[in-house]
Structure 1
Amino acid sequence: MSSLAIACALVLPGVVHADSEREAALEQRIAELERQIQELAAEFKAQRAAPAPAAAPAVPAGKLPIQAVSLTPGSPAGTTLRYGGFIKADFLATKTHDGQLADSAVGRALYVPSQTPVGGRAADVDYDAHAKFSRFGIGIDTVTESGSKGGAYVEMDFFGNALGNQNATNTYGVTMRHAYAYWNSWLAGQTWSNFMDVGSLPDTVDFVGPTDGVIFVRQAQVRYTSGAFSIALENPETLYIPNGGGATTASDRGAMPDLTLRYGWKGDWGTFGVGGLLRNLKVQRAGSSTTPAVDDTEFAAALTVGGKWVLGKNDDLRYQVTAGNGFSRYIGLGITGDTAIDADGDLDAIGGVAGFVGWRHAWSPTTRTNLVYARSQYDNPVSFTGGGVTESVQSLRFNVFYSPFPKVDVGAELMVGKRELENGADGRITRLQFTTKYSF
């Protein structure tokens, strides 16, 4: 027998035995897989045969689902938390043509019409930069099982007094903007005046914008709202001009709150609102050797209309007109007094008219411009106030905003303003302002 035949005779039985073991293992694995498939099929059949679970109860329209655990400790179920705000940086180059703004003037950070210098020499350009108008807010909202709605909101910015200096830290205090609670139709706390139409404000780089002619007040109040109608009792404060003229002074006297009413309409065409203001002006001041005592009250009233008119897909017009007497505190950060004091110590409410109009055009989804004109004029009793009080203020501004992606705005704005006194003197201001803003 050859050596090859002998080798095959010795190896072949082992090979055959190994193949038999592998085949047995493979058959066992196949059998196990078949068993598992049969179990899964039986389980699937049982699930299909079982009755469908009961559907979750529908949530009524406008009602939030009730959750098992509150999102906010100490709050009832059905409470949600919202948080938002923005980071805004402003860069301003300002030239006043008839005097100079003080280093610490509020008008260095935003446009304050009553601070426009009058009767002096032209000043050089002043550059300012800050981020103090950045803000953040937290809201708590609850919907009960019965459908009642309640909650609260608090919002802060950094437009408080300086806590540092521009040499190093540039720190500012956190200040309260809004702080109110609401329950169904009732609201109590500090927020925008009910006399103000927030929705009609134009898009501007300046913090306020059409300051010369816009209603702009936040204060404590109790408000009731029913549909498009709202009525509020708001914190009173009287601005008065002393007899013979002088700086406008605030008087925090009186037992009657300011009464405001508002009714609004809205649709695809835009918005329109009418507001009313009724005030009880009061000044109570002790006399001195040079000034007589004052203890008098006077009723004042004003009416405002305004809104937003949609001109097309890319255009809208925003406007407001306010007229009456004794309403200056509500206009343009207090441009002049609500009332003057005559020689006998009696009040004489100051009448006036104020307004603005702004055209907004979107050139593309990322670029938009605004052209805004604002003005207010007052009928001062010059025999009591003298000629050094503000008769009118006005401004014209043009801006452009670019939004490279949602929630980010980069803007530039050119503004020219003018302030005129009763004696004919006037002052002008020119400002170029840039801003960056990230909302969240």
Structure 2
Amino acid sequence: MNTRFRSMARRPLATALFVALLAPGMAFAQSAREQALEARVAELEKQVQLLLSAQQQQQGQIEQTQSQVTAVQSAQASAPAVAAVPAGKQPIQSTTITTAANPGSVFSYGGFIKLDAMVTDTSDGPIADGNSGRLFYVPSTIPVAGEGVSGGDPYTDFHAQFSRFWFGVDNVTDNGDKFKAYIEADFFGGGSNALAGNETSTNTYAVTLRQAYVSWNNWLAGQTWSNFQDVAALPDAVDFVGVTDGTTFVRQAQVRYTNGAWSVSAENPETTLQGFNARLPNSGDDVMPDITGRWLTKGDWGHFTVAGLLRQFKYGDETDTGAAVSVSGKFNMGDSDDLRYMVNAGSGIGRYMAFGLGADTVVELDANGNIIDINALDGYGGFVSWRHVWSPKLRTNLMYSAAEFDNDPAITGYAATERAQSVHANVIYSPFPKLDIGAEVGYGKRELEDDREGDLKRFQTSVKYSF
């Protein structure tokens, strides 16, 4: 029993000794494993730091590249659009062809090609071949002969004389001064010689100056639309103008100053004269330039403007003065419709309205043809036009226009034009951007002081491509 007891007592002791001997080994093994883990963690931390550093460097390069791309895009957006050079093609030269221009100048070019084809029927005989009334609606060219005169058969005309082109250059100095030069021409100038200008063979027509001006900040000098004319109110016509009777329409040399909504100008003077039963040659005796002033306001709804005109007339030793006013604008009626209008009235408004349908002045002569007096002629006119857009490719326009002059038949005779009016309706189809195919019907009438009248009926088509 003692032996058994001693044996049992020795077992815990052996166990304790075994544990005591094993513990340092376990502790040593655990310490080595921890060191290995710590070394691995340190290596991982080092690799993470290297990755973070590489990522930060890469992010900096990305941000720098993005900044460079943004700068290039901004420069491209501010620079004029340049067509891409086709593959295999090279530009004619790598430097500018306008070596005399100011550095940083921006050049532009544009225009359109237009073919007009029309059939005309006039009540009192045909408009003379070669007359401008054969090319577009000019009320003063409507023949008026009276009773017993037959108009004959309709006649047809084709031409491309209203095709035009223009050049422009813009420049802004380091100080912010803005300069602009502009020149525009078409071919509505007749033939360059008697043979080339007729319709027998070549139909060659001379280049005609329309506009040529330079502007500096608020100032403009050169030939352009009169400050008395509101070009933005003109309707969308197939005819060159359409509402010729009642609109102002003048381009001439001038000096103009514009400040915000206000503009004033001094423009080339010229006096048209009405004698007894006949128009007289223009007078170039004028001393004072024509003075105009305009006020304009505009917004999403359209625009509204009022213009005034002051003139002096001189023929020989006789003088007179005149004044006129024009109110016009465009009113947007929703997304698909707009109304365009103009009302003109004044004394001596003649050559500014309806392509000179009435004269500026009436000249009173004695029996020997000597000048007794010169008086400004009162005139009135206007138009209204409704435009409706059916779709992005189809639109229509309906226009009415009229003008009237207050002649004194005792001085002018009864052959002077008293009034003219017209109505036009068209449809314009644009199968592709910038390409317009139009058809328009028009009716116009001219009346004289003796109540004789003549009318014009016309069907006109056009193909126009703008660039």
TM-score (norm. length: structure 2): 0.78
> Deviation string for 1:190-239 (max 9, x for gaps)?
00000000000000011111000000000000000001111000001100
> Deviation string for 1:47-106 (max 9, x for gaps)?
94799599899999xx9679xx87732222221001100000000100001122111211
1:70·1:78 contact (CA, 8 Å) conserved in 2?
Answer: no
Residue 203 of structure 1: aligned partner: 236
2:150 paired with 1:118: no
The 3 A distance-change label for structure 1 pair 223 and 421 is same
In structure 2, what is the Cα distance between the partners aligned to 1:297 and 1:249? 16
> Deviation string for 1:127-171 (max 9, x for gaps)?
000001000000000011111100200011011122312121111
Which of 256, 269, 288 is the aligned partner of 1:223? Answer: 256
Residue 100 of structure 2: aligned partner: 74
Shift of 1:254: 1.5
2:166 paired with 1:137: yes
The 3 A distance-change label for structure 1 pair 305 and 51 is closer
Residue 19 of structure 1: aligned partner: none
2:114 paired with 1:88: yes
Residue identity in the other structure for 2:348: G
The structure with the largest helix share of the pair is 2
Residue identity in the other structure for 2:462: T
2:402 paired with 1:369: no
Alignment of 1:276-295 (within 5 A): 276-284=308-316, 295=317
2:319 paired with 1:308: no
Which of 425, 428, 432 is the aligned partner of 2:455? Answer: 428
In structure 1, what is the Cα distance between the partners aligned to 2:409 and 2:63? 87
Residue 382 of structure 2: aligned partner: 355
Which of 181, 197, 202 is the aligned partner of 2:214? Answer: 181
Residue identity in the other structure for 2:189: G
Shift of 1:402: 0.2
Which of 172, 180, 184 is the aligned partner of 1:151? Answer: 180
2:441 paired with 1:414: yes
Which of 126, 133, 136 is the aligned partner of 1:100? Answer: 126
Moved over 4 A (4+): 41-47, 49-60, 63-66
1:374·1:394 contact (CA, 8 Å) conserved in 2?
Answer: yes
1:308·1:319 contact (CA, 8 Å) conserved in 2?
Answer: yes
The 3 A distance-change label for structure 1 pair 44 and 171 is farther
In structure 1, what is the Cα distance between the partners aligned to 2:215 and 2:97? 19
Residue identity in the other structure for 2:394: T
In structure 1, what is the Cα distance between the partners aligned to 2:394 and 2:230? 25
The 3 A distance-change label for structure 1 pair 59 and 336 is farther
Residue 245 of structure 1: aligned partner: 277
2:371 paired with 1:339: no
In structure 1, what is the Cα distance between the partners aligned to 2:123 and 2:62? 85
Shift of 1:42: 8.2
In structure 2, what is the Cα distance between the partners aligned to 1:151 and 1:74? 15
Which of 297, 307, 316 is the aligned partner of 2:319? Answer: 297
Shift of 1:121: 2.2
What SS class does the counterpart of residue 383 from structure 1 fall into? Answer: helix
Which of 254, 260, 276 is the aligned partner of 2:286? Answer: 254
2:428 paired with 1:401: yes
> Deviation string for 1:253-310 (max 9, x for gaps)?
11111001111010111100000000001112xxxxxxxxxx2111100000010011
1:137·1:154 contact (CA, 8 Å) conserved in 2?
Answer: yes
RMSD of aligned alpha carbons: 2.6
In structure 2, what is the Cα distance between the partners aligned to 1:121 and 1:176? 38
Which of 337, 340, 346 is the aligned partner of 1:324? Answer: 346
2:297 paired with 1:265: yes
What SS class does the counterpart of residue 247 from structure 1 fall into? Answer: strand
> Deviation string for 1:310-337 (max 9, x for gaps)?
1111000000000011011001111021
Larger Rg, first or second structure (1 or 2): 2
TM-score (norm. length: structure 1): 0.83
In the alignment, structure 1 segments of 5+ residues that lack a partner are 1-40, 285-294
What SS class does the counterpart of residue 172 from structure 1 fall into? Answer: coil
The 3 A distance-change label for structure 1 pair 121 and 265 is same
2:403·2:421 contact (CA, 8 Å) conserved in 1?
Answer: yes
In the alignment, structure 2 segments of 5+ residues that lack a partner are 1-52, 81-94, 366-370
In structure 1, what is the Cα distance between the partners aligned to 2:244 and 2:61? 71
Between the aligned residues of both structures, percent identity stands at: 49
2:273·2:360 contact (CA, 8 Å) conserved in 1?
Answer: yes
1:64·1:78 contact (CA, 8 Å) conserved in 2?
Answer: no
In structure 1, what is the Cα distance between the partners aligned to 2:280 and 2:419? 15
2:271·2:286 contact (CA, 8 Å) conserved in 1?
Answer: no
Shift of 1:245: 2.4
